[in-house]
Structure 1
Amino acid sequence: MHMADALVAPAVAATMYTCSAVAAGYSVKKVKLVDDPKRIPVMGVMGAFVFATQMINFTIPGTGSSGHLCGGMLLSAILGPYAGFLTMIGVLQIQCLLFADGGILALGCNIWNMAFYGCFIGAMLIWRPMMRKGACRWKIIAASVIGCIVTLQLGAFSVCLETTASGVTQLPLTVFVSVMQPIHLAIGAVEGLITAAVLCFIYEARPELLWGINDGVDKKPGLSYKKTVIILVTAAVVIGGGLSLAASEYPDGLEWSIQKITGEDEIEASDGIYEAAASVQEKTALLPDYSVKTTDSQAGTSLSGIVGGAAVIALCSLFCVMFRLFRRKHE
């Protein structure tokens, strides 16, 4: 559901950058108050895991469309809404700048649509209330599926509103909504099941790593903290470096919806600001579209998965170091 620049007018882009920046600033303020060394490696590892899983588009049967994990609900259920939101920002930044996945002008929109709802609405209004009296498998599954469906529906609807506010007349609001919401309902259901599987594993391995259930955790860990992190790292490498090669070739829900309505693969914009943004992205994207510029080899996809995951870990680690330094300076 990464929006391209052509879908967003400069005024809408600026508004959504501002909204996302306010949410990020508040998240930084809240994260600096938390002193939990175990969360630092988990933040980077889970960011890399979400990056890797987003590379695997799964086919939605009978539609000719595909979907991928957004990850906001998954991250916030482990890291909490604030650290989860900042981790999602790191993932989306790497995707935008290093792989040209989503436009630079549209980055504020993508952060809001894919990160804000999952991390704040999903975590605070769905996950935390359901886990208030303790966690169990059925609660985790229910919260994951409901949370992913609701937050992806909100994200898809926001895309429709943003394109309408941007004056993209090729995508009339009522028509766009009627196509976007059903396909993302199916995508959200699949994402919910994937999210539930990961969270159930963590619940069995290290239940204390799940956010919002600490007061109700009386379950013994099934694995050591170190082994759990190693398994998650290994999964991120295998998914990003190997399973990503099996990703569906069908367009994702947003691209599919645009094709359904306009008959074109994408909408183009040629004004100066769009050309400038495209020029910047062309320079920063070392592996555009998750491939090597000089070859069509599938090795580029594997390389992208590994490089992207490492970049997300590095960026999230930098965030954590900065938070700790700022906290010490304040103290």
Structure 2
Amino acid sequence: MHMADALVAPAVATTMYAATSVTAAISVKKVKLENDKKIVPFMGVMSAFVFAAQMVNITIPGTGSSGHFCGGLLLAILVGPYAGFLAMISVLAVQCLLFADGGILALGANIWNMAFYSCFIGYLCIYRPLMKKSMSTGKILITSVLASVVSLQLGAFSVTLQTLISGVTSLSFGQFLLFMQPIHLAIGVLEGLITGAVIIFVFHARPELLHNSNAVNKIGLKQVLIILSTVVIFLGGGLSLLASENPDGLEWSIQNLTGSTDVEPESKYIDAMDNAAKIQEKTALLPDYSFKDSESKLGTSFSGVFGAIVVGAISLGCCVLLKTFKRKDDILE
């Protein structure tokens, strides 16, 4: 659901950047106040996991489309909604800047559509209340699917609303909505099944890893890093080579309306779009998750592992800084 710059007018892009920035500032404050010690290591390894998992597009049967794991709900369940939102920012920012996945102007909108709803609506309003009293395998799976579907439906609706407000004339709001909602319903079910499977595994193996869990099992940081690093390398460096080449839900919807997965920008916004594209050309070391001017699949594997390392390092570093500042504030008080 990574929107290109052509889908958002500069005014809409600015508004979404502002909304995302305010939410990020609140999240930073909340994470600083949390005393959950496992947030520091898991911010890094789980954001790396989500980046690698997003590399694997899965074909949606009978549609000609594909979907990929978003990960916001999973992060919220494991490290909390505020830390999860910040981790998703690192994932989406790295995808945009280093791999030219989604436009720079549209980054604020992409963060809102793919992170806000899953971390705060999906988790806080659906998953957490339903799981508050008891947890079981069946309940985890059903609730994960429900929360994921609602999150993806809200995200898909936001995309259509943002393009409508942006005045993208090639996309009729009603028709665009009729394509976006059903395909993201299917993707939401896929997202929920994957999220549920991971949470069920954690619930039975190491329940203390779940956010706000009172379980007493302990697991060493070294062991966690080894297990998750292996999974990240497998997903990003290996399984990503088998990713579906079908367009994702957003591209598929656009293609059904216009005959192409791309949308021409409105003429009055071309200068802004061109300037954003020039910046992205300079920052994108591995455009489209490949080596520049090369079709080697090695570029995809390298991108998956390298991107996961970068995302993990950024998330871990930011979390360590937040906890350091909190300790300094506590000392001053």
Shorter-normalised TM-score: what interval? over 0.9
Query: Separation in 2 of the partners of 1:183 and 1:146?
Result: 16
Provide TM-score, normalisation by structure 2.
0.95
How far 1:246 moved relative to its partner?
A: 0.1
| Equivalent in the alignment of 1:73 | 73
Q: Give, as a single letter, the amino acid of the residue that structure 1 aligns with 2:234.
A: V
Query: Separation in 2 of the partners of 1:78 and 1:260?
Result: 37
How far 1:229 moved relative to its partner?
A: 3.9
Alignment of structure 1 residues 2-13 onto 2, 5 Å: 2-13=2-13
Secondary structure of 2:33's aligned partner: coil
Secondary structure of 1:47's aligned partner: helix
1:318 aligns with 2:317: yes
Secondary structure of 1:168's aligned partner: coil
| Equivalent in the alignment of 1:258 | 254
Q: Does the 8 Å contact 2:39/2:83 carry over to 1?
A: no
User: CA offsets per residue over residues 84-126 of structure 1, 9 Å max, x none?
Assistant: 0000000000000000000000000000000000000011011
Query: Separation in 2 of the partners of 1:136 and 1:224?
Result: 25
Query: Separation in 1 of the partners of 2:206 and 2:39?
Result: 12
Specify every segment of 5 or more residues in structure 1 that has no aligned partner in the other structure, as ranges: none
How far 1:134 moved relative to its partner?
A: 2.8
| Equivalent in the alignment of 1:59 | 59
| Equivalent in the alignment of 1:294 | 293
Provide TM-score, normalisation by structure 1.
0.96
Q: Does the 8 Å contact 1:206/1:224 carry over to 2?
A: no
How far 1:224 moved relative to its partner?
A: 5.7
How far 1:204 moved relative to its partner?
A: 1.7
Query: Separation in 2 of the partners of 1:319 and 1:127?
Result: 26
Specify every segment of 5 or more residues in structure 2 that has no aligned partner in the other structure, as ranges: none
User: CA offsets per residue over residues 22-71 of structure 1, 9 Å max, x none?
Assistant: 11010000000113332211111110110011111000011100000111
Distance 1:307 1:225, change over 3 A: closer
| Equivalent in the alignment of 1:327 | 326
Q: Does the 8 Å contact 2:289/2:299 carry over to 1?
A: yes
Structure 1 stretches of at least 4 aligned residues deviating more than 6 Å after TM superposition: none
Query: Separation in 2 of the partners of 1:79 and 1:116?
Result: 15
Q: Give, as a single letter, the amino acid of the residue that structure 2 aligns with 1:318.
A: G
Query: Separation in 1 of the partners of 2:135 and 2:315?
Result: 28
Identity %: 60
| Equivalent in the alignment of 1:196 | 196
| Equivalent in the alignment of 1:272 | 271
Q: Does the 8 Å contact 2:41/2:221 carry over to 1?
A: no
How far 1:150 moved relative to its partner?
A: 0.6
Q: Does the 8 Å contact 2:232/2:308 carry over to 1?
A: yes
Q: Does the 8 Å contact 1:206/1:228 carry over to 2?
A: no
Query: Separation in 2 of the partners of 1:211 and 1:169?
Result: 44
Aligned-residue CA RMSD (Å): 1.4
Query: Separation in 2 of the partners of 1:148 and 1:112?
Result: 15
